[in-house]
Amino acid sequence: MTTPASSKLVLLGPPGAGKGTQAELLSARLGTPHISTGDMLRSEISQGTALGVRAKGFMDKGELVPDDLMLGIVRQRLARMDCNEGFVLDGFPRSVPQAVSLDDICGGASPGKLRALSLDVPTDELVRRLTERRTCRKCGAMYHLTFEPPKRPGICDKCGGDLYQRDDDREEIIAARLEVYRKETAPLLTFYRERSALVEVQGTGATEQVFRRVVASLGVPA
Ligand code: ADP
Ligand code: ADP
Ligand code: ZN
């Protein structure tokens, strides 16, 4: 008998690949929570918590927040009841040590337990997506000035909150983040491939088109 594929998913891909966008759609389709470590950190920063203050220095430079800080918040979040049936984890793991820790938490990556979905997008397209990304200050919803513009400029369609450009979405910080991805996060593709738990999807084309590919590759029922 084959084990059913797990609804515990992690999304991999460089900054701007569309992880947040696809995670939101997948979460709605699967009925599992979308957990974005970037959103969690930005919320800690806006609340002025000690964790937020420590994380901000790293985030502003485009560097990774240290593993011990990340593990604390991820462990707590995954322990909540709404994760029992699965989750869509966006932005974690971002390094091999983080993936090893997630294995400890979830009992190891394998097609039946935890799968990684990787979105592949060429660098010039990533830069185009990131420089024009706008984020809602209130609900975290994402827009793109050209590809997914809000109905009213500067205002979130979903909650009326104001849209801003993240400090780390400026061109010089984007370059640093892409380099961090290449060095620290890209090795995770091999990590999950070796466990037969990697699903690779081309992330170019319109959002809906990418989502259709994602759903088909994961074998999610329509
Ligand atoms: P990530 O979470 O991987 O950094 P996002 O989901 O935030 O990526 O997407 C980055 C930017 O690109 C956002 O402005 C988003 O609206 C836009 N975007 C996402 N998917 C697509 C797509 N398929 N085509 C064009 N723009 C996209
Ligand atoms: P993007 O999707 O554009 O790559 P995120 O919102 O996921 O950006 O992350 C923004 C920043 O938050 C990262 O550049 C990093 O500083 C920090 N961060 C988020 N998740 C992690 C993580 N798992 N480990 C370390 N740092 C993280
Ligand atoms: Zn909003």
Q: Indicate the number of domains in the chain.
A: 1
| 13 C-beta closer than 6 A to ligand 2 | no
- Residue 129 falls inside a structural domain: no
16 CB less than 6 Å from ligand 1? yes
Cα(147) to ligand 1 centroid in Å equals 9
How far apart are the C-alpha atoms of 42 and 19, rounded to whole Å?
A: 16
> What residues are neighbours of ligand 3 (ion), with CB under 5 Å?
136, 138-139, 141, 156, 158-159, 161
> Is 158 inside any structural domain?
no
- Give the ligand whose atoms come closest to the C-alpha of residue 121: 1
pLDDT, averaged across the chain? 94
Three-state SS string across the chain, please? CCCCCCCEEEEECCCCCCHHHHHHHHHHHHCCCEEEHHHHHHHHHHHCCHHHHHHHHHHHHCCCCCHHHHHHHHHHHHCCHHHCCCEEEECCCCCHHHHHHHHHHHCCCECCCEEEEEEECCHHHHHHHHHCEEEECCCCCEEECCCECCCECCECCCCCCEEECCHHHCHHHHHHHHHHHHHHHCHHHHHHHHCCCEEEEECCCCHHHHHHHHHHHHCCCC
Residue 127 lies in a domain: no
Let me know if residue 179 belongs to a domain: no
Examine residue 157 and state whether it is found in any structural domain, yes or no.
no
Residue 138 belongs to a domain? no
Distance 148 CA to ligand 1 centre (A): 9
Best CA proximity match to 125, nearest among 185, 206, 194, 221: 206
What are 43-82's pLDDT values in tens digits? Answer: 999 999 999 999 999 999 999 999 999 999 999 999 999 9
Q: Which residue among the candidates 8, 42, 115, 177 is catalytic per the annotation?
A: 177
> 155-206, pLDDT tens digit by residue?
999 999 999 999 999 999 999 999 999 999 999 999 999 999 999 999 999 9
Which pLDDT does position 1 carry in this prediction?
47
Q: Which atom of ligand 1 is the closest one to the Cα of 144?
A: 14
Q: What is the CATH number of the domain that holds 67?
A: 3.40.50.300
Alpha-carbon gap, residue 96 to 155, rounded angstroms: 38
Q: Is any atom of ligand 2 closer than 6 Å to the C-beta of 73?
A: no
Per-residue pLDDT averaged across 134-147, rounded? 93
- Which range of residues forms the domain containing residue 108? 5-121+185-213
Q: Is the CB of 10 under 6 A from ligand 2?
A: no
CB 119 within 8 A of CB 15: no
Contact 11, 119 (CB under 8 A): yes
What pLDDT was estimated at residue 5?
Answer: 67
Q: What is the pTM of this model?
A: 0.95
